Amino acid sequence: MIVLKDICFQVIDLVKETSELIIRESQKGKNLGLEVKGRHNYVTRVDKASEEKLVEGLSKIIPDSGFIAEEETSTKKGEKYNWVIDPIDGTTNFIHGLFPFAISVALMENDEVVIGVVYELGLKECFYAWKGSESFLNGEIIKASVTKTVNESLLATGFPYTDYEYMDEFFESLKYFMKNSHGLRRLGSAATDIVYVACGRFDGFYEYGLHAWDIAAACFILERAGGKSTDFSGGKNYLFGGELVSSNSEIFNEFQQTVNKLMKPC
């Protein structure tokens, strides 16, 4: 029988070791082995090396586990446990030497996320939670904000970078939230955006075109911190459905309904 708290701290140790590899490789200069996976969708040898290290280490933590991994260094499927990992969330930032970028690791037991770890390398901030726990940032309990209206909120989003089908709708949403909130930010790392909602730096986040490895760990951490996540229509298919609305619990209904109205074609 595995103990989720113990597993979580083993993951944290592995993620921090992997972060040292990433920083070490990034200091070697511009030769990052850049490859283009698609339009504005990049991978470097550092992404692959860090994912390989994570896969190797996580396989030791739970030997019969499988993986949902961005760079597909392992496609093994576990019968009960599967790790959802992004070795560098924010690769474009990483390529240009710009923070934030983060390592994201979640553990799924059947269809449920039970552990989430997000490590943002710029500030060396480790966000984490396990099933039944509070959410933590470097050992301190964190909570989502209690801001009560969208108008009072600081919001975050991510720009579409491969799927431009809903650009008109997205630009309308930008205009609306610029006019009807404290402001809108785009950091370039969805995992970081969502854990910033979990600790109250942002009040809400939305984006389309995301993948499970971008958001699984962060959304779990947000949930344990008192926030909520759904797809645009308010449904539960946000991990694999490509649409995400996340916020504190106070503004969630207003925020989700507004995003859904503005981005309805998705």
Q: Cα 31 to the chain's mean position, in Å?
A: 26
85: DSSP letter: E
Distance from C-alpha of 179 to C-alpha of 139, rounded to nearest angstrom: 37
What would the pLDDT profile of 245-262 be if each residue is shown by its tens digit?
999 999 999 999 999 999
Residue ranges of E strands in the chain:
35-38, 41-43, 66-69, 81-89, 102-109, 112-120, 125-130, 135-137, 140-142, 154-157, 183-185, 204-208, 227-230, 243-248
> What is the per-residue pLDDT for 75?
79
pLDDT along the chain (266 residues), means of 10: 94 98 77 52 76 96 94 83 97 91 98 98 98 98 98 96 87 97 98 98 97 97 98 96 97 98 81
pTM of the model: 0.94
Residue 66 has which token pair? 């499988």
Distance from C-alpha of 266 to C-alpha of 261, rounded to nearest angstrom: 10
SS3 161: coil
* Run of H or E including 215: helix 212-224
Q: Which residues contact 31 (CB under 8 A, 6 or more apart)?
A: none
> What is the per-residue pLDDT for 40?
45
Distance from C-alpha of 59 to C-alpha of 66, rounded to nearest angstrom: 8
Q: CA 147, 150, 151, 156 torsion: positive or negative?
A: positive
Structural domains of the chain in order of their starting residue, each with its CATH number: 4-142 (3.30.540.10), 150-262 (3.40.190.80)
